[in-house]
């Protein structure tokens, strides 16, 4: 019995991760941690996706990059698929790992052609009218990184409930807590969001202005880009906040920026897993903003200062209370780090993924044997 268990644990794992521009841009930290963990365990892995700076920031020395699409022309979609299929056949993967939304159709196509199972991580809740491409013969596991997404999968795919699992995206928790760690400097407020709607930021900017008039020494940094940036900059100038508000494009080294701030401000639940919020908790920032029901790290349970992002007075009252009781905010941030370390560790995520890959490969092998035996009979 012990020998059979050991043989199962030593099954070769050769996963290929399928990505696109959106996944690489928003979840490169998650991808990097998975790839680094596989490399650390001496497993051979590859990642298929577009070339560029985002891909370069994800790659590890031992991870192969398979460029897809190979030809950047949308009308050559079928040609690109066949080229990817040929490259994957040479790599000989044992399991494919894709993400939703984004790679569902491609995942099903490749799995069926290569005759290997796949794992799919869902990064947003699956709604009633959401289109999900699932091939039951190859779908070894459907993963939800938080309770909201996990429950939505169970509702939409009850017949596959045995293959639906919750696998938390892991975060590296810092030993120190960043927020309010230096009483001698200005309080750093941080927002990470798309700048597609200038009106979303107006109540926050007005609340910051009132805090400054009340004598609070604060600085606001907005990380993002989008069509509303000009309007936001115009508001900053009209409110005379140019010395206190900085707008910069998204940066790859988020943790370095986060560790120098004090408060992470969350203005909207985008309806998908929020990696920036996970990183904010991991470095120990105090949280303020609207509740994030999707990620589940910022709820009305005392773990954050919840306010209405459309109400200037609500924002002002929450931030004023947080700044006035900085020790309470720091204590709450430390508790958040503790929960993350316990429930969402990187090592726990990697261990769970390894078990899933092995189980999926075993499940598929047994299902193939059963099918062959049925044909013979």
- The string of pLDDT tens digits covering residues 321-373 is 999 998 999 999 999 999 999 988 999 999 999 999 999 999 988 887 766 66
Question: Quick check: pTM over 0.95?
Answer: no
Mean pLDDT of the chain: 90
- What confidence tier does 302 reach under pLDDT thresholds 50, 70, 90? confident
Phi-psi label, residue 345: left if phi above 0, alpha if psi -120 to 50, beta otherwise: beta
pLDDT in tens, 154-197: 999 999 999 999 999 998 999 999 999 888 789 999 999 999 99
Which is the CATH superfamily of the domain at 9-170+345-376? Glycogen Phosphorylase B; (3.40.50.2000)
pLDDT in tens, 230-285: 999 999 999 999 999 999 998 877 888 898 899 999 999 988 999 999 999 999 99
The token pair at 169 is: 């995206």
Task: Give how far Cα 97 sits from Cα of 100, 106, 117, 261, 372, Å.
Answer: 10, 11, 9, 35, 26
The rounded distance, in Å, linking the Cα atoms of 41 and 36 is 9
Which is the CATH superfamily of the domain at 187-342? Glycogen Phosphorylase B; (3.40.50.2000)
pLDDT in tens, 69-89: 988 777 888 899 999 999 999
Is the separation of the CB atoms in 209 and 245 below 8 Å?
Answer: no
pLDDT of residue 4: 44
Q: Where are the domains of the chain?
A: 9-170+345-376, 187-342
pLDDT over 90 percentage in the chain: 68
Is the separation of the CB atoms in 131 and 156 below 8 Å?
Answer: no
Burial of 248 (0-12, 13-18, 19+ CB in 10 A): exposed
The rounded distance, in Å, linking the Cα atoms of 224 and 190 is 11
pLDDT of residue 130: 80
Is the separation of the CB atoms in 234 and 245 below 8 Å?
Answer: no
The rounded distance, in Å, linking the Cα atoms of 123 and 274 is 9
The rounded distance, in Å, linking the Cα atoms of 123 and 145 is 7
Answer yes or no: same fold for 9-170+345-376 and 187-342. yes
Report the SS3 class of residue 49.
strand
- Give start and end residues of each alpha helix (H) in the chain: 2-9, 21-26, 28-40, 53-58, 77-91, 104-114, 147-156, 198-213, 229-238, 254-258, 275-283, 312-324, 326-343, 346-376
């Amino acid at each position: 019995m012990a020998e059979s268990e050991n043989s199962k644990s030593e099954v070769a794992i050769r996963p290929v991760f399928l990505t696109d521009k959106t996944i690489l841009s928003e979840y490169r930290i998650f991808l990097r941690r998975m790839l680094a963990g596989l490399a650390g365990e001496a497993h051979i892995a590859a990642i298929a996706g577009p070339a560029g700076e985002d891909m370069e920031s994800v790659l590890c020395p031992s991870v192969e990059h398979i460029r897809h699409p190979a030809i950047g022309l949308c009308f050559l979609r079928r040609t690109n698929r066949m080229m990817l299929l040929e490259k994957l056949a040479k790599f000989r993967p044992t399991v494919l790992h894709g993400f939703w939304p984004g790679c569902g159709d491609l995942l099903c196509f490749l799995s069926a052609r290569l005759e290997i199972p796949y794992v799919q991580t869902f990064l947003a809740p699956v709604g009633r009218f959401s289109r999900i491409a699932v091939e039951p013969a190859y779908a070894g596991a459907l993963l939800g990184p938080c309770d909201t997404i996990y429950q939505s999968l169970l509702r939409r795919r009850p017949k596959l409930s045995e293959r639906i699992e919750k696998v938390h995206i892991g975060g590296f928790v810092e030993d120190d807590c960043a927020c309010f760690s230096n009483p001698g400097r200005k309080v750093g407020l941080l927002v990470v969001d798309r700048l597609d709607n200038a009106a979303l930021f107006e109540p926050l900017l007005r609340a910051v202005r009132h805090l400054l008039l009340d004598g609070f020494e604060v600085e606001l940094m907005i990380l993002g880009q989008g069509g509303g940036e000009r309007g936001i900059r115009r508001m900053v100038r009209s409110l005379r906040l140019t010395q206190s508000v900085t707008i910069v494009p998204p940066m790859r080294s988020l943790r370095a920026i986060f560790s120098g701030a004090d408060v992470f401000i969350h203005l909207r639940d985008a309806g998908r897993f929020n990696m920036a919020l996970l990183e904010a908790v991991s470095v120990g920032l105090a949280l303020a903003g609207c509740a994030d029901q999707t990620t589940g790290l910022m709820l009305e349970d005392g773990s954050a200062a919840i306010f209405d992002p459309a109400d200037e007075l609500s924002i002002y009252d929450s931030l004023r209370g947080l700044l006035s009781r900085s020790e309470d905010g720091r204590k709450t941030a430390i508790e958040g780090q503790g929960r993350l370390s316990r429930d969402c560790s990187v090592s726990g995520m990697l261990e769970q993924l390894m078990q899933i890959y092995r189980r999926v490969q075993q499940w598929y092998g047994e299902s193939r044997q059963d099918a062959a035996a049925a044909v013979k009979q």
